[in-house]
Structure 1
């Protein structure tokens, strides 16, 4: 089992994936899970009477999942920076109680630049898709 807090440079409340469900290093894939709790830090004020998990935090959840994958592929923990986000699609709102399944695939790697595709599912339906780039190491 992967201890997420040991491989990501983040601290609570900014560690977003709760669990690594599976990882396939040969194919550059990871599946993580995130439950949106009613007291989730990122729901505070977003919105006061109708809490919705922010879309930008969905992107960050995908990026952190990619960071976990890279830490296992490279067998080291390095700081990674979100360098580019492309073609993001949000198809559904995310609310307290939702269980998110996050799937990330490494598409290509050149030097310290890694490109990923990702999707988030809720109740078996794809609710968010994105392509994004992480830069590994110092900026």
Structure 2
């Protein structure tokens, strides 16, 4: 049973198809951690060109999936409701496993540090027991119409 459905996720973050890379939130501990699921299907638009005959989810889109999970974690805190979380930096990104159609990507994000409207999270994307990607992300929270 999910904590948040795709429809509920879309009330929190501005991403929509074809750039919404989140199917559900499985666990949410506000201010601490979040676990989400992305079902990777052959119908994803990016598989048309990455790579024909050998479909592989681009690493940058795995990072985007993690950033979306981080956004949900951040925006579920009372102080940031109604705001937008922007990706500010990607550090220590490592790609360890190819993600293909049919894989279920489990996204885990843990809050490391938060100050004012900025923070850092530690992220892991896994397929089964194997880590596909890990990274540290920095975010900035602002109103959607603010210049940052």
**Residue 114 of structure 2 is aligned with which of 103, 109, 118?**
109
**Which runs of structure 2 are paired with 1:1-139 in the superposition (5 Å)?**
1-2=3-4, 3-25=8-30, 28-74=32-78, 76-137=81-142, 138=146, 139=148
Structure 1 moving runs of 4+ over 2 Å: none
Question: What is the rounded CA distance, in whole Å, between the counterparts of 2:82 and 2:129 in structure 1?
Answer: 32
TM-score by length of 1: 0.94
Unaligned runs of 5+ in 2: none
Cα pair distance change 1:41/1:77, threshold 3 Å = farther
Cα pair distance change 1:108/1:123, threshold 3 Å = same
Q: Deviations over 1:14-43 (max 9, x none)?
A: 111111001012x51000000110111222
Question: What is the rounded CA distance, in whole Å, between the counterparts of 1:123 and 1:103 in structure 2?
Answer: 13
TM-score by length of 2: 0.89
The Cα shift of 1:48 comes to 1.2
User: Cα RMSD (Å) of the superposition?
Assistant: 1.2
The Cα shift of 1:11 comes to 1.3
The Cα shift of 1:10 comes to 1.2
- Judge conservation of contact 2:75–2:84 (CA < 8 Å) in 1: no
Unaligned runs of 5+ in 1: none
The Cα shift of 1:44 comes to 2.0
